[in-house]
């Protein structure tokens, strides 16, 4: 999560405040009343959507009132999900191991004695021909 007073948030807030001030200033200029009111209604609708989003985040426990980090309830849920995933991975690994061991021990290959140099050279010469 981003810090509460991060650079992006300050920039966004300054932009929104500047837009609201500009719309209010346009409302005071003669002849610009109707477009300013339209812009003002659009900005109010956007702010209402943001407010509803914040309320949804608070209601679902995604953020707290004083700290944007996940609440303790959400952290416990995330920890529980991570533990369940780790347990599932361990169970799958155990099943794979049991399946591999069910086929019996690994067959040992007979040790082949190293060839003499003469036999290797003879085989090499016959392969070249």
What pLDDT digit, counting tens, does each position of 93-105 carry? Answer: 999 988 888 877 7
pLDDT score at 69: 67
- Of all residues in the chain, the percent with pLDDT exceeding 90 is 13
- The pLDDT tens digits for 13-51 are 788 888 778 777 776 777 766 676 777 788 888 889 988
pLDDT score at 114: 61
pTM as predicted? 0.36
Burial status of residue 78 (CB atoms within 10 A of its CB: 0-12, 13-18, 19 or more) = exposed
pLDDT score at 1: 45
- Ordered by start, the domain boundaries in the chain are 1-69, 71-101
Short-list 67, 25, 17, 76, CA closest to 43 = 17
């Amino acid at each position: 999560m981003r810090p509460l007073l991060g650079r992006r948030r300050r920039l966004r807030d300054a932009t929104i405040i500047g837009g609201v001030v500009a719309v209010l200033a346009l409302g005071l200029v003669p002849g610009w009343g109707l477009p300013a009111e339209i812009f003002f209604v659009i900005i109010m609708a956007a702010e209402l959507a943001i407010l509803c989003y914040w309320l949804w985040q608070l209601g679902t426990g995604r953020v707290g009132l004083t700290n944007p980090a996940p609440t303790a309830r959400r952290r416990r849920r995330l920890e529980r999900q991570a533990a369940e995933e780790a347990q599932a991975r361990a169970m799958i690994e155990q099943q794979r191991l049991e399946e591999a061991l069910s086929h019996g021990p690994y067959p040992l290959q007979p040790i082949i004695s190293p060839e003499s140099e003469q036999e290797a050279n003879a085989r090499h010469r016959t392969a070249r021909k």
